[in-house]
């Protein structure tokens, strides 16, 4: 299966534009820490993860801010973005 990046980009842009049109330009976090399944275990559905890590939304966002400020956004930052997007999809879905 192939995933078209342009479709993902368009979907995110469309959804964010809708949210902004509703007057929401920022979102307050009512949670910060979350359980994170280590990368080597997340897609191994036949085995229960041996351990869980803890992630932090504030740290993810700060990492993105610093990377953008220094013009150092890279593919790795998708991990930070994905944690924040998951929070938004679960806590602020309409």
pLDDT single digits (tens) 3-27: 999 999 999 999 999 989 999 899 8
pLDDT for position 73: 96
How many CB atoms within 10 Å of residue 48?
7
Q: How confident is the model at residue 77 (pLDDT cuts 50, 70, 90)?
A: very high
Q: Is 2 helix (H, G, I), strand (E, B) or coil?
A: coil
pLDDT 10s digits, 25-54: 998 989 999 999 998 899 999 999 999 999
How do the residues of the chain divide into helix, strand and coil, expressed in percent and rounded to 5?
A: 55, 10, 35
Q: What are the tokens at 37?
A: 């399944």
| 42-48-49-50 Cα dihedral, nearest 10 degrees | -160
Q: Give the pTM.
A: 0.86
Look up tokens 């479709």; give the residue: 7
């Amino acid at each position: 299966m192939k995933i078209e990046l342009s479709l993902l980009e368009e979907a995110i842009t469309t959804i964010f534009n809708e949210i902004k049109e509703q007057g929401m330009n920022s979102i307050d976090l009512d949670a910060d820490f979350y359980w994170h399944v280590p990368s080597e275990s997340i897609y191994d559905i036949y085995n229960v993860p041996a351990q869980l890590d803890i992630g932090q939304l504030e740290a993810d966002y700060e990492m993105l801010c610093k990377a953008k400020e220094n013009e150092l956004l890279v593919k790795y930052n998708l991990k930070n973005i994905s944690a924040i997007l998951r929070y938004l999809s679960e806590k602020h879905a309409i």
